[in-house]
Amino acid sequence: MESNFKGTAGEVFIFCLWMPILLVISLGFATPFLVCTLIRWICDKSVINGKRYKFNGTAGGLFGSWLKWSILSIITFGIYSFWAARNEIRWVVDNIEMID
């Protein structure tokens, strides 16, 4: 089985350049958009065991949960962030489908 990633170093550079800038400008509220953009790009550029994948999640679909997780993490002084990270990964995986 063949697995590969077709992303370029230039694309990674662009992501590493504009994502932190957008996060700072938006005070973190762009996080759902950036997560969806990055995961969609990874799925579009990846072939795993000969299969292609598509990410169907939207920033709007993530925003409400992300806001709730962020508030709970603040209230619990960061303790909830472990569950929030797990929940975000679960949400990402639930929104990926095999297309080939």
Domain locations along the chain: 4-98
Provide the pLDDT confidence category of residue 2 given band limits of 50, 70 and 90.
confident
pLDDT of the residue at 80: 98
Give the sheet arrangement for strand 51-55, strand by strand: 4-5, 46-48, 51-55, 96-98
Mean pLDDT of 33-47: 97
pLDDT single digits (tens) 14-26: 999 999 999 999 9
